[in-house]
Amino acid sequence: MTGAVAVVLLPSDRFGSWHSAAIIFAGPPGLFAALLGVAGLAREKPVDRISAAIGAAMLGVAAIDFILYVSFISGTGPMIVAILEKVALILLLSWMVAISIRVIRLR
């Protein structure tokens, strides 16, 4: 969580190398947490296929984006990183909405 907050508080236009370090620090634990969430949804009975699929798509896009970002800051990655960030965010918000709807329906 500290790394995620640091990413927001250290914008890349003002704190370039610190922002990159925060992303590298926060990325793996965040991806692992998302993986656990997706795995938990996939194992739930009955399976919430929509939430699990959206979460898996978000996790895949975020993982690819993280890998491309690391290669980008080392000087070899493509500029598609900014686009993938937006796609991952839209998928993350969709995942949260799907899970919220499921929780509301269970009550």
Nearest to 37 by CA among 17, 21, 52, 49: 52
pLDDT at 41: 85
Comparing 21 with 4, the larger pLDDT belongs to 21
- Name the residue type at position 98: A
Q: Torsion-angle region of residue 18: left (phi > 0), alpha (psi -120 to 50) or beta?
A: alpha
Asked if the model's pLDDT at residue 90 lies above 90, the reply is yes
Model confidence pTM above 0.85: no
Nearby residues of 57 by Cβ (< 8 Å), 6 or more positions away:
91
Give the DSSP per-residue string, 72-87: HHTT---TTHHHHHHH
